[in-house]
């Protein structure tokens, strides 16, 4: 999508406290050796954090995103493209960083494998396409 790279650059420089905290934990392969990028374009969307190796997208959102139809459309697009979507409230990253990081590791290591929609956690498993679907 034209302009998405420059928009992603602007978002990286204007991030919030929760995103800054998570970036500190995941940059330079600090989280169990997994490589993450921040504010990365994926299709028409810019995702907060992305581990390309595991096709995992992480979003940190404020309460204004509760029940967001736009987020649902984004998640449906990303899971259809083979990305798993993991979402936390920004406040949880600030208040309970160890739990958020432990959950991310569970997903990266394949220990959390089912869709979850809890008040403090959203996880949507990637849609895996079969051989004939490519």
Q: Which domains does the chain have, with CATH numbers?
A: 4-127 (3.40.960.10)
pTM value surpassing 0.85: no
134 three-class SS: coil
Helices (H), the chain: 4-13, 17-26, 69-80, 90-95, 97-108
Q: How far is 46 from 21, CA to CA, in rounded Å? A: 19
pLDDT tens, per residue, the chain with 134 residues: 556 555 445 544 446 899 999 999 999 999 999 999 999 999 999 999 999 999 999 999 875 546 678 889 999 999 999 999 999 999 999 999 999 999 999 999 999 999 999 988 999 999 987 655 54
Q: How far is 26 from 49, CA to CA, in rounded Å? A: 9
C-alpha dihedral (63, 60, 55, 119), degrees to nearest 10: -40
């Amino acid at each position: 999508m034209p302009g998405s790279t420059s928009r992603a650059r602007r978002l990286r420089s204007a991030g919030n406290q929760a995103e800054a905290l998570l970036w500190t934990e995941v940059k330079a392969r600090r989280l169990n050796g997994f490589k993450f990028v921040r504010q990365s374009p994926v299709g028409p969307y810019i995702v907060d954090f992305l581990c390309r190796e595991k096709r995992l997208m992480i979003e940190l959102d404020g309460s204004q995103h509760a029940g967001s139809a736009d987020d649902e459309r984004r998640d449906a697009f990303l899971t259809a493209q083979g990305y798993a979507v993991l979402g936390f409230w920004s406040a949880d990253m600030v208040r309970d960083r160890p739990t958020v990081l432990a959950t991310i590791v569970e997903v990266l290591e394949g220990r959390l494998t089912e869709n979850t929609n809890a008040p403090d956690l959203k996880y949507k498993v990637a849609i895996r396409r079969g051989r004939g679907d490519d």
